[in-house]
Amino acid sequence: MRITIVGAGFSGSALASELARQAGPGVELCLVGQTESYGRGVAYGEARPEHLLNVRASDLGATPDRPGGFADWLNLTDRARGSYLPRLLYGEYLHAQLQTAVAGSTAGFSQIRHEAIAVERASAGFRVHLADGSDFVSDRVVLALGALPPQPLPGVGPRLAIHPSYLGWPWQDGAIDAIAPDARLLIVGTGLTMADVVVTLQRRGHRGQIVALSRHGLLPRAHGEQPPEAIALPPAVLHALDRHAPRELLRALRTLTPVIADWRSLVDALRLHLQKFWQGIPTPQRASFLRHLRSYWEIARHRIAPQLHDELQALRESGQLQIRAGRLLRARRGDDAVEALIRERGGQRLHTERFDVLIRATGLDTDVERSTHPLIAHLRESGLVAADPLGLGLRSSAQFEVLDHKGVAVRGLYAIGPLLRAQLWEITAVPELRVAARDLAGRLLSNSAASRQAAERVAIA
């Protein structure tokens, strides 16, 4: 029985490590990923030294039974366990965990450092095609691709789209290092990616003005200096969660917030219930949440290190960093600058501003329908997968099996990670991902054992 995982970031590596620890002889495991970020992922393997983790070291263990595994690996003191360390360091931890699991496994294990560009049905399961022209057959395939490549910003003109003054992805080919220190910048997006861009610019001594624009103009909130006290949710909130009633839940939370000592405690307590809650919400209500509440939830849910928040606030107070609410309607390359047509939130007047560089920093993308990712595009066009109508990854079953264009589960084809947002919503952070990796590993090996027993019965007959 061969199980192939496509994608060697956190989700793929965590799943591969779980399978390596649980599988025995007769199971062949294969982890496919690109060389640059193999076993680490883009978020951790291709980060810059100044990019910090958004979670305390004490909570980032790669397995559910050892949430302090990362801090243990580093032999951190009690005080240091509560710190926010560089993401590159976490990438090294993930890679080490994978190699340790592989070395101790009794299953076969192949590590393929090439991009997978197609997965097709084959008589024995699936055929996986690699970018170097080779291919192989696998009984089970798991899509662990993480976030999809960013799409072009709407309204960017064709001349600007290919000009160095437009950075569609700030970390590509060192493009951010070519920005002049005095350049006036427009960053589209005010979330975690924007924060990383700004801190990198500051480390490079950037002096020019930075304007960050998003629909609501909201910055991520900061973690407290100390972890918040755990709280139990009151009956009104639990009742709304059980009823899958978003409006009722919102009313209960508004009543509760003023009497909670730290709002972070409430957000953290909700996380334990959100996957089940999300599964019971119909599509129209999900769409309403995404339109009206998503931005407010995400700045509270995906918090940044206190020191990074303080740095951003200092830049705002100095006037170098401006956070604006509005939309970029059009951007074109003028004779000597980027000309951006902007409408401020709540206003009707349009105005044009000139910038030296336009940077796209809009964060996590899981829109399968519009994605140009080679493997996702192939699977979508072949009908082997179906896109969630709200852009939240793939349609899937409760068992993480992918649904095809007819809504039928594709036996043996699974997904894990952000591509499951349509099914689980909260499936982008380490605590949820490590649980999902363990659950899916058990399911894959259970199915493999059942298939082997069935084959043996057929052979006997």
What residues does each domain of the chain span?
A: 2-149+365-460, 158-222+303-360, 235-301
Q: Could you tell me the pTM of the whole model?
A: 0.93
| Rounded distance between C-alpha atoms, residue 416 and residue 438, angstroms | 11
Percent of the chain with pLDDT over 70: 97
Q: Do domains 2-149+365-460 and 158-222+303-360 have the same CATH topology?
A: yes
Would you say residue 459 has pLDDT above 50?
no
Q: Does domain 2-149+365-460 have CATH number 3.40.50.300?
A: no
What letter would DSSP give residue 263? H
* Helix ranges, 294-412 (H): 294-301, 306-318, 374-382
- pLDDT tens digits along 333-345: 999 999 999 999 9
Structure tokens at 319: 């006037």
Residue 458 has pLDDT above 50, yes or no: no
What pLDDT is attached to residue 454? 47
Residues 6+ apart with CB under 8 A from 404: 383, 384, 385, 386, 410
Question: In angstroms, what CA-CA distances link 233 with 66, 88, 257, 326?
Answer: 25, 36, 11, 35
Give percent above pLDDT 90 in the chain: 90
**What pLDDT digit, counting tens, does each position of 53-107 carry?**
999 999 999 999 999 999 999 999 999 999 999 999 999 999 999 999 999 999 9
Q: Which candidate, 450, 412, 437, 364, places its Cα nearest to that of 127?
A: 412
Q: Give the chain's radius of gyration (CA, Å).
A: 23
**CATH architecture of the domain covering 158-222+303-360:** 3-Layer(bba) Sandwich (3.50)
At 125, is the secondary structure helix, strand, or coil? strand
Identify the band that residue 455 occupies on the pLDDT scale cut at 50, 70 and 90.
very low
